[in-house]
Chains A and B, each alone.
Chain A
Amino acid sequence: MREVALTVTVNGEQISRPVEARRTLADFLRDDLSLTGTHLGCEHGVCGACTVLLDGDAVRSCLMFAVQADGAEVTTIEGLSEGGLTPIQAAFQAEHGLQCGYCTPGFVVSAHAFLAEHPDPSDEEIREALSGNLCRCTGYQGIIAAVKRAASNGSSL
């Protein structure tokens, strides 16, 4: 399979290496960089478990080829957590916003991107913003409460 040169910054670290053209960004992060906090729940862009930040925007890493991230800055859940749990993550714990934890990194990344843009969201906006991520355990109750709590604490990032 054809390999393409890729230079990408992941969690602040610049990485240059050849990568198979068809390799998804998710597989590149998980298998090549061992950043397994990015999860695959559907591999067709619906569930949001693989959400990462690409130059600050929340994107589905299962729907992108790694080479499409050339020159970009990628932040994964591991990158967000480098200084310990963020206030958003702490709010998820306080509000029982996770059970099995599989969808959780995707929700946390989405919430970071959302609160960065909308520091004072309404309930409706929170629900709408989270509707691109699927959770099967919590019924979303704790997740919505966590994002609300994080917002009301003024902790967008």
Chain B
Amino acid sequence: MTAGRFMGQAIARSEDPRLLAGRGRYIADVVVPGASDAAFLRSEVARGRIVSLDVEAARSAPGVRAVYTAADLNPLVHETAVAGLPEGPFPPKYCLAENDVRFVGDPIAIVIAENRYLAEDAVELIDVDIEPQEPVLDVDAARNGDGALVHPEIGTNTPQVIPFFGDPDLEQAFADAAHVVKDTIVMHRYVQAPMECRGIIADCDPYSDELTVWSGTQSVYGVQSLIAGLLGIGTNQIRVVQPDVGGGFGQKMAIMRDEWAVVLAAKLLGRPVRWIEDRRENLTAAAHARDERIDLSIALDGDGGITAIQGEFIENIGAYQTMGSSGMGAFIAPFLTNAYKIPKVGFASQAVYTNTCGKAPYRGPFLMYAVGIEQLMDAAARQLGVDPLELRRRNVIRADDLPYTLPSMLCFESITPAETLDQAALMIDYDGFRADQRAALEQGRYLGVGISLCVEPSGIAVGSMATEAAEIRMDYTGKVTVAVGSSSTGMSVVTTMKQVVAEHLGCVPDDVNVIQGDTAATPWGAGTGGSRSAVLIGNAVAAASTELRSKLLEIAADALEAAAEDLEIDNSRVFVRGTATKGMSFADVGQLAYHSPDMLSPGTAPGLEASHRFKAPPFTFSNACHICTCEVDIETGRVSILRYVVSEDCGRMINPKVVEGQVFGGVVQGIGGVLYEHMVYDDDGNPLTSTFVDYLLPTAAEVPTIEVGHIESPAPNPLGVKGMGEGGAIASPAAVINAVADALAPLGVRISGSPLGPRQILDMIAAASGQRA
């Protein structure tokens, strides 16, 4: 696709210089006069009754301004309903643990002190006695309903159940199948781990009854809405400001119970309160992700064509789930066929409460739709004795299938899974690798290749996420400001939206200022998540810029005594087509529009302002194919990734460097998840991986060089863009797992999911060799 003058160009990010120079302003850098620091006492017991809680010593400790418990804060809670949670019974969300504790990390008391050191000192002085009870940890025991309840108030551990539904002929399709392939695919628990932990500062003004909140969030309006409900006050009494945010990946979509406590404490105390989460809290008490499995079966005909798929999905959602996660069955079901033509589908799901840290979204929270089938494709290929690339080619949706209506009735209009499959196979020299693999095996080396396709439901635009707006204005100097409802946490929204404005308005990106992350300054929006920014914000900005351009032309036409349709714009100048000298600068038009409105023709409106609220279809589909090659050392269990290629199609790219950056980050999160990261609990519900010494993030020493190929098929929206922020993390786990499984297949090892750390790999090799012996 032809790049524009600015759209499609890999221009350097304007966010970068200040961040590089240490001039970013993150939540811990925000100074609010008079702010006190908060620290929490958290439960060290997974499930238990609070027998006694004595905070008197803490209250009189040096520098302590207040200590609050459930008795102080919980009565202030007006309501805790969060829009956007799927249907289901929800537990009463105690702000602080009341009577009992429900996971290790459950906040019990909040100490407010002169500084964080003194607050933590005082936490040590709190005397709490918790009578431990047998925790609910096993998902199967929890959902079979014969044991204890995580939340006795709601009478069930399965708050969200989708009973089995499917094609009426599904059973017949499996009965008629030449082959049936089934497996249980497991994703272990791993976490978002943004480099910046959470943080919030709340300042209640008792005189105006207004509340200002600084929050390291992905959605300022989400925070505003939740706090309005929490306090029972008007949304217009709450200003939420987002400073720079050091990554979110879904964890910062909604504020959690400890953050509510900070807001309530600030209200009660009548002075600003600041809480900066530490890493141990972030790893054990913020929110976790994954920890799910799917029982998946596919039916194939004699030619390897898949005729039906059936899945039962179970997820462990911990004790307290947050918006946009948990109950993901509803988002997995429609996409269960991923990139393949599979006519018949059946599905069921359950979300299960346990006494562990609750679940929040993490980059592709519904990723099991791809992680599951992509592993089953490889299992099927092995069972049928065909190459996994060939099996995918037989079943993948092709250009001449489009528009392709899924069994879920959603429609793929513009995707290219077959093309990305071919491009990725070419990039990695698939046949060449197979030859190398055979040669290596003869020398006793275990190499493998793994393919994973994904069609990403990007630009999620359902319910309150269906729209985004842009408000654009050019001032009397010709400079442009555009305000949007995003709350970027590193997604380059400023740079890319400057490119969109410049392209549509005819100025340079440097003349555009982008404002986001402040409810006092931006239009209402759902924030940054769901791979929405390019599609929703991008199209809103493009439309608003186009409307502003019309106003510019109307005013310039007046001044130049020409018809608007005879005018052109280039480089911040309006001129009569073919007569470059007869024109005026944006600054001239701005002067006229604001400072000399009497010189405009009657009927020409003064000012240069426009706004547009864009409604997107529920999903805008992008797609990618990942192929990973690896070598497994069967003595140590170590997996070394040899090459990693991605062919992706996100439609028209606004900035290829930004697109590739999103791919890189997502892929490495998937690699990390499969090979290194594992949030582990012991049998008593204690988290064992509470530091970065135990919870292993990938480093520069482990990650492969990632090669990216692009295919650009325009999306069915005016800008032609598709979202792609999550696809890297959605497709990568299965690519890595399939590569390891392929490497170890000659040893008879069968792999059904993750984690694939050295210990798991050595155990599987030992088990397989035991079976063979």
**Chain A residues within CB distance 8 Å of chain B:** 1, 20, 22-23, 30-31, 35-44, 46-47, 49, 76-78, 81, 85, 89, 92-94, 96, 98-105, 108, 126-128, 130-144
CA distance A89 to B13 in the complex (A): 13
Q: Evaluate contact between A39 and B660: CB separation under 8 angstroms.
A: no
B245-A100 in contact (CB<8A): yes
Q: How far is the CA of A131 from the CA of B691 in the complex (A)?
A: 17
- Given A44-B691, A136-B249; A131-B661 close (CB under 8 Å): no
Out of A1, A85, A132, which one reaches B20, CB within 8 Å? Answer: A85
Interface residues of B in 393-449 (CB under 8 A from A): none
Query: With A96-B661, A140-B700 given, is the CB distance from A103 to B693 under 8 Å?
Result: no
Does chain A have a CB within 8 A of B1?
Answer: no
Which residues of chain A are within 8 angstroms of B115 by Cβ–Cβ distance? Answer: 31
Contact status B20-A102, CB under 8 Å: no
B665 within 8 A of A: yes
Cα separation A133 to B697 with both chains bound (whole Å): 10
Cβ-closest chain A residue relative to B697: A134
The answer to whether A35 and B22 touch across the interface, beta carbons within 8 angstroms, is yes
Known contacts A100-B490, A101-B490, A102-B247: A40-B28 contact under CB 8 Å? yes
How far apart are B114's CB and chain A's nearest CB, in angstroms?
12
What is the minimal beta-carbon distance from B706 to any residue of chain A, in angstroms?
6
Partner of A127, one of B247, B661, B700: B700
Distance of A26 from chain B, by nearest CB (Å): 11
A136 / chain B contacts, CB cutoff of 8 Å: 193-195, 247, 249, 665, 669, 697
Residue numbers of B with Cβ under 8 A of A are 12-13, 15-17, 19-26, 28-29, 115, 117, 193-197, 244-247, 249, 278-279, 489-492, 657-658, 660-661, 664-669, 691-693, 697-703, 705-706
- Does A101 lie within 8 Å of B246, measured CB to CB? yes
Known A-B contacts A47-B195, A100-B247, A134-B699; A141 and B490 likewise in contact (beta carbons under 8 Å) = no
- A108 and chain B: residue at smallest CB distance: B20
A3 to chain B, nearest CB (A): 13
B20 touches A89 (CB 8 A): yes
- Give A22 to B661 CA distance when docked, in angstroms: 40
Q: Please tell me if the beta carbons of A102 and B22 are within 8 angstroms of each other in the complex.
A: no
Q: With a CB–CB cut-off of 8 A, which chain A residues contact B699?
A: 130-134, 140
Given A44-B693, A127-B701, residue A140 in contact with residue B668 (CB < 8 A) = yes
Tell whether A37 pairs with B24 under 8 Å between CB atoms, given A134-B692, A138-B661, A139-B665: yes
For the complex of A and B, 5 pairs with smallest distance between CB atoms: A37-B22, A102-B246, A100-B490, A101-B19, A139-B668
- Chain B facing A: main interface SS: loop
Closest to A141 in B: B664
A99-B490 contact, Cβ under 8 Å, with A136-B194, A143-B700:
yes
Which among B196, B244, B667 has the highest number of chain A CB atoms within 10 Å?
B196
**Nearest residue, chain A, Cβ from B25:** A36
Q: Are B19 and A98 in contact (CB under 8 A)?
A: yes
26 of the cross-chain contacts (CB-CB < 8 Å) are A20-B117, A31-B115, A36-B22, A39-B196, A42-B691, A44-B691, A44-B692, A78-B22, A92-B20, A96-B13, A100-B490, A101-B16, A101-B19, A104-B24, A128-B701, A132-B699, A134-B692, A136-B247, A136-B249, A136-B669, A136-B697, A139-B669, A140-B664, A140-B668, A140-B698, A143-B700
Tell me the dominant secondary structure on chain A's binding face. Answer: loop
Asked if A93 and B24 sit within 8 Å, CB to CB, the answer is: no
A139 touches B703 (CB 8 A): yes
C-alpha gap A131/B696 in the complex (Å): 12
Contacts A89-B20, A140-B699 given; 12 further ones with Cβ under 8 A? Answer: A39-B196, A46-B693, A92-B16, A93-B20, A102-B246, A131-B699, A134-B195, A136-B669, A139-B666, A140-B664, A140-B700, A141-B661
Report B-chain residues with C-beta under 8 Å of the C-beta of A104. 19-20, 24
Q: What residues of chain A lie closer than 8 Å to B28, measured between beta carbons?
A: 30, 36, 39-40
Given contacts A134-B699, A136-B194, A137-B247, contact A76 B22 (CB under 8 A): yes
- Cα A90 to Cα B548 in complex, Å, equals 34
Contacts of A127 in B (CB 8 A): 700-701
Q: Are A139 and B664 in contact (CB under 8 A)?
A: yes
Query: Is the beta-carbon distance between B665 and A99 smaller than 8 angstroms?
Result: yes
Complex partner residue of B665 from A81, A108, A137, CB under 8 angstroms = A137
B21 touches A37 (CB 8 A): yes
Whether the pair A36, B15 counts as a contact (CB closer than 8 A) is no
Candidate in B13, B16, B28 with the most chain A CB atoms within 10 angstroms = B16
Distance A15 CA – B668 CA, assembled complex (angstroms) = 42
Across the interface, which residues of B come within 8 angstroms of A108, CB to CB? 20
Which chain B residues lie closer than 8 Å to A93 at the CB level?
Answer: 12-13, 16-17, 20
Q: Do A139 and B706 form a contact, CB below 8 Å, given A39-B246, A127-B701?
A: yes
Q: Which of B21, B491, B669 contacts A78 (CB 8 A)?
A: B21
A99 touches which one: B20, B26, B193, B492 (CB < 8 A)?
B492
Q: A131-B700, A139-B665 are in contact. Are A37 and B13 (CB under 8 A)?
A: no
Q: How far is the CB of A130 from chain B (nearest CB, A)?
A: 4
Find out whether the CB atom of A22 lies under 8 angstroms from the CB atom of B117. yes
Q: Which chain A residues border B196 with CB–CB below 8 Å? A: 39, 41, 100, 102
Pairwise interchain contact A100-B194, C-beta atoms closer than 8 A: yes
Q: How far is the CB of B376 from chain A (nearest CB, A)?
A: 27
Expressed in whole angstroms, the Cα–Cα distance for A52 and B291 within the complex equals 37
From residue B690, how far is it (CB to closest CB) to chain A in Å?
Answer: 10
Query: B669–A37 contact, CB under 8 A?
Result: no
When C-beta atoms are compared, the residue in chain B nearest to A23 turns out to be B117
Inside 8 A of A142's CB, which chain B residues have their CB? 661, 664
Distance in angstroms between the alpha carbons of A41 and B706 in the assembled complex: 26
A residues in contact with B706, CB < 8 Å: 139, 141
Among A20, A81, A131, A139, contact of B21 (Cβ-Cβ < 8 Å): A81
A131 near B701: Cβ-Cβ < 8 Å: yes
Closest Cβ of chain B: how far from A139's Cβ, in Å?
3
Q: Give the distance in Å from the alpha carbon of A143 to the alpha carbon of B703 in the complex.
A: 12
Cross-interface CB contact of A42 among B245, B246, B279, cutoff 8 Å? B279
A133: B residues at CB distance < 8 A? 699-700
CB closest residue in chain A, given B708: A141
Most B-side CB within 10 Å, residue of A20, A131, A135: A135
Judging by beta carbons under 8 Å apart, are B691 and A103 in contact? no
Residues of B within 8 A of A141 (CB): 660-661, 664, 703, 705-706
Q: Is the CB of B692 within 8 A of A42?
A: yes
Shortest Cβ distance from A35 into B: residue: B22
B15's contact among A43, A81, A101, A103, by CB below 8 Å, is which?
Answer: A101
Of all chain A residues, the one with the shortest Cβ separation from B666 is A139
Q: Could you say which residues of chain B place their CB within 8 Å of the CB of A94? A: 12
| Closest CB in chain B relative to A90 CB, distance in Å | 8
Write the nearest CB–CB distance from A120 to chain B, whole angstroms. Answer: 18
Check B664–A38 contact: CB distance below 8 A: no
Judge whether A102 and B691 touch: CB under 8 Å: no
CA distance A142 to B659 in the complex (A): 12
Residues of B within 8 A of A20 (CB): 117
Q: Which residues of A contact B661 (CB under 8 A)?
A: 96, 99, 137-138, 141-142
CA distance A98 to B12 in the complex (A): 11
Give min CB distance, A84 to chain B, whole Å.
8
User: What is the chain B residue whose CB lies nearest that of A77?
Assistant: B22
B491 contacts A99, C-beta separation under 8 Å: yes
A98-B16 contact, Cβ under 8 Å, with A46-B691, A134-B195, A142-B661 = yes
A36 to B20, Cβ gap below 8 A? no
Q: How far is the CB of A30 from chain B (nearest CB, A)?
A: 8
A42 to chain B: which residues have CB within 8 Å? Answer: 279, 691-692
**Closest chain B residue, CB of each to CB of A126:** B700
Given the complex, which residues of B lie within 8 Å of A137, measured CB to CB?
A: 195, 247, 490, 661, 665
CB distance from B579 to the nearest CB of A (A): 40
Q: How far is B194's CA from A47's CA once the two chains are assembled, in angstroms?
A: 11
Nearest CB on A from B200, distance (A):
16
The answer to whether A41 and B279 touch across the interface, beta carbons within 8 angstroms, is: yes
